Amino acid sequence: ENRTNWDEKLPFVTFNYNTTIHRITTQSPFGLIHDHKPIFPFDQQQPLVTLSQDPEHKTKLNQHLSVLTEQPKATILEQQRKYREHYDRYRTNPIYKINDIILV
């Protein structure tokens, strides 16, 4: 197998990683950065642009975007709390006495 052409496959690997929904954030990195789903080539078969006549469109859009950013933050904080609990469960505070030699 030819393993010298990895650089040719790197854009496809990067695209796949950036458009895959991650377990912790429940969003794709692309979606978190651009606030919308990526447009794949096969998505171009139908028109994607629709104009809204709703006067509340801007308000609804801002609410939707705030939900999209708050949900991953909450999920990350919850995962951090779980990691901290797991770490603290097996950790004990060391007890030092005067004249103990310690590594700094």
Average pLDDT in the chain: 83
Strongest mean pLDDT among 16-25, 37-46, 81-90: 81-90
Q: Give the pLDDT mean for 24-34.
A: 87
**Residue corresponding to tokens 């919850």:** 78
Q: Whole-angstrom Cα distance, residue 85 to residue 79?
A: 10
Record the pTM: 0.42
Burial of 48 (0-12, 13-18, 19+ CB in 10 A): exposed
pLDDT in tens, 38-50: 877 766 665 555 6
Instruction: Please state, in angstroms and rounded to a whole number, the distance separating the CA atoms of residues 9 and 3.
Output: 11
Q: Which residue has the tokens 């991650």?
A: 22
- The confidence band for 78, taking pLDDT boundaries of 50, 70 and 90, is very high
Quick one: pLDDT band at residue 1, thresholds 50, 70, 90? Answer: low
At residue 80, the pLDDT reads 94
pLDDT of 86 reads 94
